[in-house]
Amino acid sequence: MPALASLQRWLFRLAPDEQLPIVLGQRRIFIVPTRAGILFAVVLMVMLIGAINYNLSLGHALIFLLAGLGIVAMVHTFHNLFGLCLTPGRVPAVFAGDLAHFPLQLENTRRQTRRALEFSFAGQATSSVDLPAEGRASVAVSFATQRRGRLDPGRVTLATRYPLGLFRAWSYLHPRWSCIVYPRPIRTALPAPSPTMHADHLHGDNGQEDFAGLRPRQLSDPTRHIAWKAVARRSDEQPHLVKQFAGGAAEELWLAWSLTASESGPEERLSILTGWVLSADEEQARYGLKLPGKQLAVGQGEAHRASCLQALALHGENGEAPESSRQA
């Protein structure tokens, strides 16, 4: 059925949106009566028969006014979407099983409030939002993730029934966005740290145990090392001080695929590794990650944690090209 598919593609614009912001023109807004709208039409027909039978002139007027109202409601429902500007935002990574939030910035250039805009991915929960007149709002469209990887959620349906609920206008948004879904972490005890492999590694410099004085804070320093008492004594203008530690075993922790129980499945092993990364990060350990075919050098901090988790998320995928809706 290639003809039907291409018709659908043409009719519903299944291709991803390339131009940003997405502006909803009449070409991509669809509108059909809702069940309530059909009920309304049936009620009007029955009323018309009654009005003819009993010769009720005012009854005719009532029915005609309601019919007009139905037509006007259609226009208003359409206009509730028409001309809406949407800009997709950056999608924060989540763990499998959590809700991924796909943010959209909405801009309304009209003088009327746009109400009850409902966003949803196919088969997912709906988020609804009111957009003030000549204003902006943001909405996060949620997607319940199930498995790790790069999540392409497909298109978003933006629908509205406002004002009277007799019609449903909708549009498909298909921004090129994807979400990194980390494996669901399984928390187990960390493997034993291995002795330092590199002889030239500086011992005692950046340890965690012994307090070794204060120094101005750099952006990479974790907040829990800030010397709040010292900060409180100083004026606002000066940079915060952080406590410096020395000594202790600045051991290197290698979180390796080979250390996980080999009887578990590959996904479970990735989950265990994810749990280790989280635990190691919480313990402020310096850790590296060894996966089949990939190795991340020992490191520490937010960025290191993120790159480790991403490596785990995309393990086995050819990292670049997002696969289409592998979650659904």
Partner 1 sequence: MVKMVKHLKAVGKPSASPGSLPLLTLEHGAIPWLLAVALATAGPHAAHLPWWLSLLVGGTLLWRAWLWQQRRPLPPRWALVLLVIGSIAAIAWQFGTLLGKDAGVALLVVFMALKPMEMSSRRDALVVVMLGYFLLLTHYLYSQSIPTGAWLLAAIALLTAALIRLHGGAQPVATILRHALLLLAQALPFMLILYLLFPRVAGPLWGLPQDAYSGLSGLSEEMSPGTISRLTLSGAIAFRSRFAGEPPEKSDLYWRGPVFDEYDGHTWRARALPAKAAKQLPVVAGIGAPLAYSSILEAHNRRWLLALDIATRLPPDSALAPTLEALAREPVRVRTQFSFASSIDYRANVIEAPAILQQALALPKEINPRTRALASEWASRPPEKIAAAALAMFRNEDFYYTLRPSLLGPNAMDEFLFDSRRGFCEHYASAFVFLMRAAGVPARVVAGYQGGELNPVDGYLVVRQSDAHAWAEIWLAGQGWVRFDPTAAVAPARIEQGIDAALPAGEPLPMIVRLDSDWLRQLRNRWEAANNTWNQWVLGYNPQRQREVLSRLGWRDPDWRGMSASLAILCGLALLLVTLWTLPRRLAADPVQRAWQKYCAALKRRGIPRAEWEGPLDFAHRVAREKPDLAALTNEAAGYYAELRYGRRASNGQLLRRLQQCVRRLPPRRRKHS
- Please report whether residue 139 would count as binding partner 1 according to CB under 8 A: yes
- Please report whether residue 49 would count as binding partner 1 according to CB under 8 A: yes
183-218 burial, b if ≥16 CB within 10 A, otherwise e? bbbbeeebbebeeeeeeeeeeeeebeeeeeebeebe
- Please report whether residue 326 would count as binding partner 1 according to CB under 8 A: no
Instruction: Report the relative pairing of strands 210-216 and 85-88 from DSSP bridges.
Output: unpaired
Residues 255-284 that bind partner 1 (CB under 8 A): none
Q: How far apart are CA 176 and CA 183, in angstroms?
A: 22
- Please report whether residue 164 would count as binding partner 1 according to CB under 8 A: yes
Q: Tell me whether residue 21 or residue 193 sits nearer to partner 1 (CB atom).
A: 21
Q: Tell me whether residue 53 or residue 262 sits nearer to partner 1 (CB atom).
A: 53
Q: Tell me whether residue 55 or residue 220 sits nearer to partner 1 (CB atom).
A: 55
By the 8 A CB rule, do 143 and 100 touch?
Answer: yes
With CA atoms as reference, report the closest residue to 153 among 106, 94, 86, 107. Answer: 94
What are residue 54's phi and psi, to 5 degrees?
Answer: -95, 5
CB 47 → partner 1: shortest distance, Å? Answer: 5
Q: How far apart are CA 318 and CA 323, in angstroms?
A: 9
Residues 94-113 that bind partner 1 (CB under 8 A): 99, 101, 109-111
**Number of Cβ within a 10 Å radius of residue 117:** 23
**Which range of residues in 160-168, 191-199, 235-243, 253-261 is near partner 1 by CB under 8 A?**
160-168
CB 210 → partner 1: shortest distance, Å? Answer: 44
Residue of the chain from 11, 20, 35, 295 that contacts partner 1 (CB under 8 A):
35
Residue of the chain from 7, 32, 43, 249 that contacts partner 1 (CB under 8 A):
43
Residue of the chain from 159, 241, 273, 311 that contacts partner 1 (CB under 8 A):
159
Question: Per-residue string for binding with partner 1, 55-74, x by CB under 8 A?
Answer: xxxxxxxxxxxxxxx-xxx-
CB 26 → partner 1: shortest distance, Å? Answer: 10
Size of the site for partner 1 (CB under 8 A): 72
Q: Tell me whether residue 53 or residue 218 sits nearer to partner 1 (CB atom).
A: 53
Question: Per-residue string for binding with partner 1, 290-309, x by CB under 8 A?
Answer: --------------------
The full length of the chain comes to 328
**Which range of residues in 75-83, 212-220, 233-241, 269-277 is near partner 1 by CB under 8 A?**
75-83
Cβ within 8 Å of residue 291, ≥6 positions away: 257, 273, 311, 312, 315
Residue of the chain from 31, 129, 226, 246 that contacts partner 1 (CB under 8 A):
129
Residue of the chain from 14, 31, 93, 116 that contacts partner 1 (CB under 8 A):
116
Q: Tell me whether residue 95 or residue 119 sits nearer to partner 1 (CB atom).
A: 119
Name residue 324's beta-bridge partners. none
Residues 1-30 that bind partner 1 (CB under 8 A): 23
Q: Tell me whether residue 25 or residue 222 sits nearer to partner 1 (CB atom).
A: 25
DSSP string, 98-109: SEEEEEEEEE--
Q: Reduced to 3 states, what is the DSSP secondary structure of residue 62?
A: helix
Q: Tell me whether residue 41 or residue 212 sits nearer to partner 1 (CB atom).
A: 41
Q: Which CA distances in Å does 182 have to 94, 106, 112, 270? A: 6, 28, 41, 9
Residues 218-247 that bind partner 1 (CB under 8 A): none
Peptide bond just before 163 cis, omega within 30 deg? yes
Q: Which CA distances in Å does 144 have to 85, 275, 298? A: 26, 21, 33
